[in-house]
Amino acid sequence: MAEEAEGGVPEEILSLWEREQAQLKARVVDRDTEEWQREPAFSGLRRVGGVDLSFVKGDCARACASLVVLSYPELEVLYEDNQLVSLSTPYVPGFLAFREVPFLRDAMQRLRDTKPSLVPQAGFGVACHLGILTDLPCIGVAKKLLQVDGLENNALHRERMQLLHAGGDSFPLMGESRTVLGMALRSHDRSTNPLYVSVGHKVSLQTAVRLTHSCCRFRIPEPVRQADIRSREHIRRTLGLPAAPEPAPKRSQKVHPKGNLEETLD
C-alpha cells in the first residue's frame, strides 16, 4: 500500500508534483514578450482574462470553474464560461494548482476551439502554472501575503503598507534570499488593503504591477472579480439556491483636505 502524505496524497504523487513544478519553473519567462507590454498605455492590448473556482457551500468537492474575457481598457465582459466540476484531488498546501488548473485549462481550450478571436492576450489567476500550460502572459494576484522565504506580515510589513497612499503605490517584497518575489500594490485609491502581485509568465514584474492597477475598478482586478461573481451566480442558478443578499458596501473614513472626516467605499 502506498505511503500517504499530507491530504491523503501518496508520497509518489507528491514527488511527481514536485518534479513537475521544477520543470514548469524552469520554463517561466519573467520578462515582457509582447509589443503591447512595452507601450505606456498598453496600446494593442484588447482582451484580458480572469479565472476563478468557487465552491458549493458546504461541499469541498464540487465547484464552479469560471473563465471570463473582458475588453481592455473598457473592462466589459465579452465572454464567460462557467462549468460545475467535481474535484477528486485533495487540497495540499503548495500544490493548489494541481487541484484546480486542469478545469481552468479545459475552459481555455473550449474558448480556443469555439471563439479563438476572444482568447485573452493576458490573464489573471493561477499565474505560472496556467500561463505555461496555455502559453499566455499571466499575472499572479493574491489578497494575502504568501509567507515564504522569510516574508512575514509583521510590524515592519504593516508599517510599509501605511506608505501606500494612493492607487498605484507599491513596494517590493524581498525575501531572505534577497530575491524580489513580488510587489505589494495599493490597487485602488479607495482600497485600504494591498494586493500582492507576482510574475506569472511572459511578463515582467513592473508590467504586471502596471497592468493590475489599470484593471482595478475596486481592490481586485476586474477579470478575477467578474470570474468570482459569475461563478457564484452560476452555482446559485444551477442548484436553484436563493439569491444571496446584497452585501453592504464597506466604508472607511479619511480626512478631507478641509480637516473633516468623510466616508469612502472600499
Domains of the chain, residue spans: 28-241+254-265
What count of other Cβ atoms lies within 10 Å of the Cβ of residue 36? 18
Sign, CA dihedral 44-200-112-100, equals negative
Domain 28-241+254-265: CATH architecture, name and number where available: 2-Layer Sandwich (3.30)
- State the Rg of the chain over Cα: 19
Across 129-133, 169-173, 251-255, least confident range: 251-255
What's residue 247's pLDDT? 52
Q: Which residue has the cell 494612493?
A: 166
Between 261 and 193, the more confident residue is: 193
CB 239 within 8 A of CB 165: no
**Amino acid, single-letter form, for residue 264:** T
Model confidence band, residue 259 (pLDDT cutoffs 50, 70, 90): very low
CA nearest 31: which of 205, 171, 214? 205
CA nearest 136: which of 213, 66, 48? 48
CA nearest 212: which of 193, 186, 231, 180? 186
**Amino acid, single-letter form, for residue 105:** R
Model confidence band, residue 2 (pLDDT cutoffs 50, 70, 90): very low
What's residue 70's pLDDT? 98
Model confidence band, residue 246 (pLDDT cutoffs 50, 70, 90): low
CB 83 within 8 A of CB 64: yes
Query: Can you tell me the mean pLDDT for 100-129?
Result: 93
